Amino acid sequence: MDRETRTRIEDFAITLRSILKIDGNIDDMSKVIRSLGGRVVKDGADYDSVARKIVSSRNSKFQFEINGTEAASDRASNDKKRRKRNREWTLAQSLGFVFFHMGYMISDDIWEKQPENTWQNIYGKKDKNLVFKMNHFAGAFLMPKTDFLEQVEKNTNADNKVALEPIAEHFNTTVSMVDVRGRDLGVFSFL
């Protein structure tokens, strides 16, 4: 994904947070989704990813179907905080899908061409660039760049080692999500 696209996604996330009057951390993506005219429903399936399907309708609404039961890997770990944080990340990614693939609030022409009341499997898309956009949006929306960079500076020791756990705690995300965001912003390097 090119720098210009990253910048547009960062700007979009900042603007959306401003429009929704979000100041600080997001701890309930379902509320955010409802405030945008969408909703989250449970389907009772037992699969690992929480947001597999999205449906649109002509009344400018969208719906995410998430699993209503715990995936086997989550049941085994019994880590409710990690499951909630993964769910929030996946819902933020899914929101990115609604914006950047389905055109919601971005392009009326694209949105109106979406099949009405038809589920779309967001992970069935082969477009890697779309997945990068979804991830970048989730990171930018849940961990705004300025705040993220402040947290990195605050949690960097004299040896230039960054403590990821306090940053994850600050943003209510996981260490791996902090790592992805840091690499995405070019703050952390690939080893």
- Is residue 137 within 8 Å of residue 2, measured between CB atoms? no
> How far is residue 106's CA from residue 60's CA, in Å, rounded to a whole number?
12
Amino acid in the structure at residue 132: F
| Residue 16 counted as domain residue | yes
32: in domain: yes
Domain assignment present for residue 191? The answer is no
Question: Containing domain of residue 15, as a range?
Answer: 3-184
Enter the pTM of the model.
0.85
Q: Is 131 contained in some domain?
A: yes
- What is the number of alpha carbons within 13 Å of residue 73 lying toward its C-beta? 7
Tens-digit pLDDT profile for residues 74-124: 455 557 888 888 888 888 988 998 898 888 888 889 888 887 766 666 666
Q: Which of 98, 75, 114, 76 is nearest to 29 (CA)?
A: 98
Q: For the chain, what is the domain count? A: 1
Residue 18 lies in a domain: yes
Asked whether residue 190 is assigned to any structural domain, the reply reads: no
Residue 89 · residue 142 · CB < 8 Å: yes
